[in-house]
Chains A and B, each alone.
Chain A
């Protein structure tokens, strides 16, 4: 089976930085996605990493270390609208996504 771990909940203050960690042990690895999901809505794409290193996209950055089975999503200059669940998903050896349970981020004023 697949094992993808991420914290259940995190709380941060508006304007701050939050780092969401994701560790994985999976049958194969063909990339890692991060999705954002607001309550009651569909997941939406944030980032994709397949090579080691940092990918920056505006206020959001995603990092991958394949040798450590580790990724993180960095959210900078937090805004109230960033309150959501963040889903880590690994592309396994059959090219299907295996999702973690998600991290709920609450941004406080």
Chain B
């Protein structure tokens, strides 16, 4: 089934631990994105990749890193988790990085940092 998968579905993490959230798409989309969603704040862009091999910073990049080694995968790493990173994380992809390209979202990862 075509789409975006994310893993894990949910995770409870101790502060200071390293964590990688996985995202894979099979639509051969060029652009991929990571958002966090917090109550009352809406979705905020963390990092993005317009094409394999390139990445860029979004609105809230601090404490997060990404890589885009190939078209399909776009992992998000928290080097040393802090409680303020407790959130729901959504990965998305779009065919291109232009304004009219619809973004398709994965099911999300619910992360709790204690």
Q: Which residues of A are in contact with B by a Cβ distance under 8 Å?
A: 4, 30-31, 33, 41-45, 48, 50, 87, 89, 91, 95-102
Type the 1/0 row for B70-114, where 1 means its CB is closer than 8 Å to any CB of A.
000000000000000000001000000111101111111000000
Asked whether, in the complex, the Cβ of B43 is within 8 Å of the Cβ of A99, the reply is: yes
**How far is the CB of A11 from the nearest CB of chain B, in Å?**
19
Set A31, A42, A87: member contacting B107, Cβ < 8 A = A42
> What is the number of residues of chain B that contact chain A, defined by CB distance less than 8 Å?
21
Question: B34 within 8 Å of A by Cβ?
Answer: no
In angstroms, Cα B90 to Cα A42, docked, is 8
User: Most chain-A Cβ atoms within 10 A of its Cβ — which of B42, B98, B104, B105?
Assistant: B42
Q: Tell me the number of A-to-B contacts counted with CB atoms below 8 Å.
A: 49
Given A41-B107, A42-B105, verify A95-B43 contact (CB < 8 Å): no
Asked whether, in the complex, the Cβ of B41 is within 8 Å of the Cβ of A101, the reply is: yes
Set A30, A48, A100: member contacting B42, Cβ < 8 A = A100
* Chain A residues within 8 Å of B43, by CB: 43, 87, 89, 97, 99
Question: B58 within 8 Å of A by Cβ?
Answer: yes
Given A87-B43, A97-B45, verify A48-B100 contact (CB < 8 Å): yes
**How far is the CB of A86 from the nearest CB of chain B, in Å?**
11
Set B42, B98, B107, B108: member contacting A99, Cβ < 8 A = B42
* Chain A residues within 8 Å of B100, by CB: 30-31, 48, 50, 91
**Who on chain A is nearest to B58 by CB?**
A96
**How far is the CB of A55 from the nearest CB of chain B, in Å?**
13
Question: B44 within 8 Å of A by Cβ?
Answer: yes
* Chain B residues within 8 Å of A30, by CB: 99-100
